[in-house]
């Protein structure tokens, strides 16, 4: 039997983590519909920030008082980032059909995954030697960058915009989910 290539293994593991996130997204959509459509991207950034700060807090305190660990928070980051990307392209508005939301979610996750596969090729699987706590710190850094860009009305001089940061946060969260498996 041929040994699996590292890039193929990463793609397979990503698909498994994405499936888990997508299932949560779909179940929550059954409960809440697409009520998140009224949110501005900045509000979604703040929701992601809350999730990342909770992860950091749990990593540092080693205990939690709410019966949820860090895994659901990374799933939440993936899903909120996908919602934020949708909002960046559509703008806040009225709820949309579940079918349309799922189609847009799949597109944003697929685009983010394609970015990861290209970067992963260039970085040669470096993420495998990283700690989950480093992913948390990088996500927090990207959130501060995103908030700064949002505070400047999306204008940057040299840097990528908020969309690239959301995509990176999706990918770092998926890396964390893989490492936590």
pLDDT digit string (tens) for 108-154?
999 999 999 888 888 889 999 999 999 999 999 999 999 999 999 98
Q: Which residue has the higher pLDDT, 88 or 69?
A: 88
Are the C-beta atoms of 49 and 78 separated by less than 8 Å? no
pLDDT digits (tens, 9 = 90+) for 45-54: 999 999 999 9
Residues 62, 67, 70, 74, Cα dihedral to 10°: -160
Q: Could you tell me what percent of the chain has a pLDDT over 70?
A: 99
Asked if pLDDT for residue 8 goes beyond 90, the answer is no
- What end-to-end distance do the CA atoms of the chain give, in Å? 25
Q: Is 155 helix (H, G, I), strand (E, B) or coil?
A: coil
User: What sections of the chain are H helices per DSSP?
Assistant: 6-32, 41-61, 70-90, 98-123, 132-151, 162-180
In whole angstroms, give the CA distance from residue 98 to residue 72. 22
Global pTM reads 0.94
User: Which one, of 131, 128, 135, 127, lies nearest residue 55 by Cα?
Assistant: 135
The mean pLDDT value of the chain amounts to 94
In whole angstroms, give the CA distance from residue 2 to residue 129. 24
């Amino acid at each position: 039997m041929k040994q699996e290539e590292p890039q193929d293994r990463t793609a397979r593991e990503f698909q498994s983590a994405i499936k888990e996130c997508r299932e949560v997204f779909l179940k929550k959509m059954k409960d809440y519909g697409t009520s998140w459509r009224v949110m501005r991207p900045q509000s979604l950034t703040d929701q992601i920030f809350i999730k990342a700060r909770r992860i950091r807090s749990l990593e540092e305190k080693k205990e939690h008082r709410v019966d949820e660990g860090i895994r659901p928070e990374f799933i939440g980051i993936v899903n909120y980032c996908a919602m934020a990307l949708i909002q960046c392209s559509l703008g806040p508005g009225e709820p949309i059909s579940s079918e349309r939301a799922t189609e847009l979610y799949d597109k944003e996750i697929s685009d983010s995954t394609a970015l990861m596969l290209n970067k992963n090729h260039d970085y040669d699987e470096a993420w495998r030697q990283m700690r989950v706590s480093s992913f948390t710190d990088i996500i927090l850094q990207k959130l501060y960058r995103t908030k700064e860009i949002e505070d400047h009305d999306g204008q940057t001089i040299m840097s990528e915009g908020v969309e690239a940061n959301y995509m990176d946060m999706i990918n770092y969260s998926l890396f964390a989910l893989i490492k936590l498996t």
